[in-house]
A and B are shown apart, each in its own frame.
Chain A
Amino acid sequence: MRKIWWKILCVVIIFYVIIMGFIGPVPRLAIINESIRNTYFHVALWLAMTTLLLLSMVFSIRYLTKGNIKDDDIASEVAKAAIFFGILGCLTGSVWANYTWGDPWPNDPKLNGAAVGILIYLAYLLLRSSFEDEQRRARISSVYNIFAFAVFIPIIYILPRLTDSLHPGSGGNSTFGSYDFDNNIRKVFYPAVIGYILLGLWIAELRIRIKQINRVREEALIESGKL
């Protein structure tokens, strides 16, 4: 029997985040006002996405060193879950930007970097789909995945800090941690990150299992001589 405790934990955390996120106490700040609740969704989604991408890269490295095709399955599905979170993160960020900066897509380096990051990973999916042979696809897309992550981190986290960005932590704006990140937020924010990561793993796990079942069935078909 597969372990289900972490799935229960995931559901509990997500509900906790949704309920506390909407009715819990938050600090009162000018301009941001109640929209600070979006921290639980937007910021946490981005952190979860980065963690999942890191995980995906680790499994790609593992595939290259050990050559086990299962590692590549994990890498690709985790990356897909991460892209899903990335798109959600963009959408929630867009809502937030609309109310605080007055524009759903202000010309901000971090936003553009995020869009480019998602493009990089969509290209990864395209690369995967252009190979027939499984081992070949796994090897080449693993190489690209590692390369992509190494470029993705500077785009999202380093380059925007060098220029003026509307986001906290860049261009002279202070980071969240410094003044307005009080304990009430922390109590919801950290569980939120963990909850999203668990949710992403859950999505990925289901898809990996489908993939592996399909593979076993295909092999059975080939062996029985019908294909």
Chain B
Amino acid sequence: MNEIKTLIWKEVTLEWRQKYAISGMLLYVVSTVFVCYLSFNLRRNQLTPIVWNTLFWIILLFTAVNAIAKSFSQERHGRLLYYYNLCSPQAIIISKIIYNSLVMAVLSVLGFVFYAFVMGNPIQDNGLFSICILLASTGFASVLTLIAGIASKADNSATLMAVLSFPIILPMLLMTIRLAKNAMDGLDWSVSTDEITTLLSIDLIVITLSYLLFPYLWRS
């Protein structure tokens, strides 16, 4: 437990020292949103709630892939070897997942605020939508962290990251979009319990698998 806390703290300090990474990601979200805004500007009345919703989650998906892809490639080989001697692989993967979830939550909330600012905010049930954002950022982070670990071992990791993660993340993305649609329509929470439980169980499966499989990945 202590180990995990220290590792998360290390990630935060590291991020704080090299501010360009996180600010780069923020700028990425903002500029993508702005590009979408300008592209749809021609026909604003055609931006139906479904398009609004889908566009938002696709922007977040690409942000997540870009933000998390660097979580293993950022650090030098020697330093990874140093961690290898110091801590257990389980602590490393759990701390990376938690840290990436935090980053994703921050990025998605800021992204959402900016997105709602320029594209309008058709959401009726804000509570459900925030749950949706929270579940999605944990889910994206946990799937992508393991995939980033796999991709970082290969040579052309940028392509591999996208190819490996998109099909795997798809069920999660579809569930999230459906849940977000329920939140937009302001439906009763009991309608969405199915989606919430499915998302939670996918998260759980993925985190358990990462926990079990990462030691084998780490060793090579």
Residues of A within 8 A of B (CB): 64, 113, 116-117, 119-120, 123, 126-127, 130-131, 135-136, 139-140, 142-144, 146-148, 150-151, 154-155, 159, 162
A131 vs B164: C-alpha distance when bound (angstroms):
15
Question: When the two chains form their complex, are residues B146 and A147 in contact, meaning their CB atoms are under 8 A apart?
Answer: yes
A119 vs B169: C-alpha distance when bound (angstroms):
12
Point out the residues of chain A lying under 8 angstroms from B206, CB to CB. Answer: 150-151
Question: When the two chains form their complex, are residues A151 and B171 in contact, meaning their CB atoms are under 8 A apart?
Answer: yes
Kindly specify which of B11-19, B33-41, B46-54, B151-159 makes contact with the partner chain: B151-159
With A147-B209, A150-B209, A159-B198 as contacts: A119 and B167 at CB distance below 8 Å: yes
Residues of B within 8 A of A (CB): 146, 150, 153-156, 160, 163-164, 166-168, 170-171, 174-175, 194, 198, 202, 205-206, 209, 213, 216-217, 219-220
Point out the residues of chain B lying under 8 angstroms from A143, CB to CB. Answer: 150, 213, 216-217
With A140-B217, A142-B216 as contacts: A148 and B168 at CB distance below 8 Å: yes
Question: When the two chains form their complex, are residues A116 and B154 in contact, meaning their CB atoms are under 8 A apart?
Answer: no
With A131-B154, A136-B220, A154-B171 as contacts: A144 and B164 at CB distance below 8 Å: yes
Shortest distance between the CB of B84 and any CB in chain A (Å):
15
Question: When the two chains form their complex, are residues A116 and B217 in contact, meaning their CB atoms are under 8 A apart?
Answer: no
Point out the residues of chain B lying under 8 angstroms from A127, CB to CB. Answer: 150, 154, 160, 164
Point out the residues of chain B lying under 8 angstroms from A135, CB to CB. Answer: 220
Shortest distance between the CB of A87 and any CB in chain B (Å):
15
A127 vs B146: C-alpha distance when bound (angstroms):
14
Q: What is the chain A residue whose CB lies nearest that of B157?
A: A130
A168 vs B193: C-alpha distance when bound (angstroms):
24
A46 vs B34: C-alpha distance when bound (angstroms):
44
Sample of 28 A–B contacts (CB below 8 Å):
A113-B171, A116-B170, A120-B167, A123-B164, A127-B160, A127-B164, A130-B156, A131-B154, A136-B153, A139-B216, A140-B220, A143-B213, A143-B216, A143-B217, A144-B150, A146-B209, A147-B168, A148-B168, A150-B205, A150-B209, A151-B168, A154-B171, A154-B202, A154-B205, A155-B170, A159-B171, A159-B175, A162-B194
Point out the residues of chain B lying under 8 angstroms from A130, CB to CB. Answer: 154-156, 160
Shortest distance between the CB of A135 and any CB in chain B (Å):
8
Shortest distance between the CB of B44 and any CB in chain A (Å):
28
Point out the residues of chain A lying under 8 angstroms from B205, CB to CB. Answer: 150-151, 154
Point out the residues of chain A lying under 8 angstroms from B175, CB to CB. Answer: 159
Question: When the two chains form their complex, are residues B209 and A139 in contact, meaning their CB atoms are under 8 A apart?
Answer: no
A151 vs B15: C-alpha distance when bound (angstroms):
31
Shortest distance between the CB of A123 and any CB in chain B (Å):
5
Point out the residues of chain A lying under 8 angstroms from B155, CB to CB. Answer: 130
Q: What is the chain A residue whose CB lies nearest that of B194?
A: A162
Q: What is the chain A residue whose CB lies nearest that of B169?
A: A151
A123 vs B169: C-alpha distance when bound (angstroms):
13
Q: What is the chain A residue whose CB lies nearest that of B156?
A: A130
Q: What is the chain B residue whose CB lies nearest that of A126?
A: B163
A117 vs B168: C-alpha distance when bound (angstroms):
8
Q: What is the chain B residue whose CB lies nearest that of A65?
A: B216
One of A64, A117, A140 near B150 (C-beta < 8 A): A140
Question: When the two chains form their complex, are residues B213 and A140 in contact, meaning their CB atoms are under 8 A apart?
Answer: no
Shortest distance between the CB of B4 and any CB in chain A (Å):
21
Point out the residues of chain B lying under 8 angstroms from A151, CB to CB. Answer: 168, 171, 205-206
Kindly list the 7 A-B residue pairs having the minimum CB-CB distance in the complex, ordered from nearest: A119-B167, A120-B167, A130-B154, A143-B213, A116-B167, A123-B163, A123-B164
